[in-house]
Structure 1
């Protein structure tokens, strides 16, 4: 089971416009930094992107406009991204919930389990305004061990998030991006009726961010490594919450 979500928002105010869905921005000119990220092939092939991709190719979902800037998910490449993600994992606020602190080997092993897998989990950088600032895991919750602990439905899609920069925490950025990514999932995966998450029940800022992003609290789960809050964003309710 993937690790829990790190704290997303420590504040109480949502960012302006966080209540609205992300807008399509396919006509945007991408920042040079993002073009460089997308064009860097690196030594790894990244998550599976073939026609049988279990997640409908997050790399192809494209950029969206949010209240905090233009945002895009970019597949992780270990050769390029390992130092940055390792640094984030060693932030005490992140390590308290992800439990992946330590040298680069620890983070690399976690990433390779996904990159070398069957495509059911895609690790991505969240790039905001051309700057990598968050780490995401988009995964098939119905194919994950999590499905043993709640009434999973086919194509349920899960989200894990950590915000790398301290300055991005506590001002609604996590809330805004959670809503944007949940909308990306629902727009890009027509077979998916629900986006789910399972932050540690103790991680009040994270649970609050999910609630403000249009998720609802569904249940408390007794997972092997934590007590989790099952958060659900329903396709049928996306315009109401």
Structure 2
């Protein structure tokens, strides 16, 4: 559950949501068990056909590779699933930026970042790592994941098909310009459009990362509560489908 790293002017967080339901126990639902059982056993990461989850994984996120580009006020944005041989060096360089490393904790040699990426690419399909292209230029790293199937679900009132996002803006020149909130809004709305069964997008940035929390607020997320996770105290941010045209 790495914290999100974005750039925006910090804003004070609103009070926690007091209408929280009881947190669900993290158990694999029948949907996931069936999909894992039916997935090809011999596929290697990167061998799947166009639009398929990598490694023949079960599709738990409605074909992120096929979500396509979306127009934003900053330009045309496109989420592209990670390919190790193409993207590792760039993502590792971003992870070694001190401003990123403070929250993602993946600084070090490339193999540390590689292990983090491969764990998702060869996993059960609940998380898809992506590079974000703005007008064709790689400039951000994203993880789109099933929050209801993630360990995070032990710590908040998860609902079926909750979709989570992690984000870091790669280059220092792209930070502090409001790109974080612009792209977060675009990706959250894209996920809601491409995943009709999903009722909300969630995120859990580190509470200390005030620019990140402010970016989520600017992107139409609401502050739900503070959450004590094993590696941080987080702000649970939620973008609701039924409020997306109002916030």
Is the structural similarity TM-score above 0.5?
yes
Q: 2:223 aligns with which of 214, 217, 232?
A: 217
Structure 2 Cα separation of the partners of residues 10 and 208 of structure 1: 6
Structure 2 Cα separation of the partners of residues 206 and 142 of structure 1: 22
Structure 1 Cα separation of the partners of residues 169 and 135 of structure 2: 15
* 1:91 match: 97
* 2:3 match: 4
Q: 1:116 aligns with which of 119, 122, 125?
A: 122
Q: Deviations over 1:51-89 (max 9, x none)?
A: 951000111001110000000000100011000000000
Structure 2 Cα separation of the partners of residues 44 and 54 of structure 1: 17
Structure 1 Cα separation of the partners of residues 57 and 226 of structure 2: 36
Q: CA RMSD in A?
A: 1.7
1:45 Cα deviation from its structure 2 partner: 3.6
* 2:185 match: 179
Q: Deviations over 1:181-225 (max 9, x none)?
A: 000110000000010000000000000000000000000000000
Conserved in 2, the CA contact under 8 Å of 1:48 and 1:118?
no
Matches within 5 A, 1:54-73: 54-73=60-79
Matched, 1:44 2:46: yes
Q: 1:72 to 1:113 in 2, by over 3 A?
A: same
Q: 1:148 aligns with which of 135, 154, 157?
A: 154
Q: 1:45 to 1:85 in 2, by over 3 A?
A: farther
* 1:31 match: none
Q: TM-score with structure 2 length normalisation?
A: 0.82
Q: TM-score with structure 1 length normalisation?
A: 0.84
Matches within 5 A, 1:170-209: 170-209=176-215
Query: What are the ranges of 5 or more consecutive residues in structure 2 without an aligned counterpart?
Result: 12-44
Structure 2 Cα separation of the partners of residues 53 and 189 of structure 1: 12
Conserved in 2, the CA contact under 8 Å of 1:182 and 1:233?
yes
Count residues with an aligned counterpart: 210
Matched, 1:126 2:132: yes
Structure 2 Cα separation of the partners of residues 80 and 51 of structure 1: 20
TM superposition outliers: structure 1 runs of 4+ over 4 Å: 49-52
1:12 Cα deviation from its structure 2 partner: 6.4
Structure 1 Cα separation of the partners of residues 47 and 95 of structure 2: 23
1:44 Cα deviation from its structure 2 partner: 2.9
Q: 1:106 aligns with which of 95, 106, 112?
A: 112
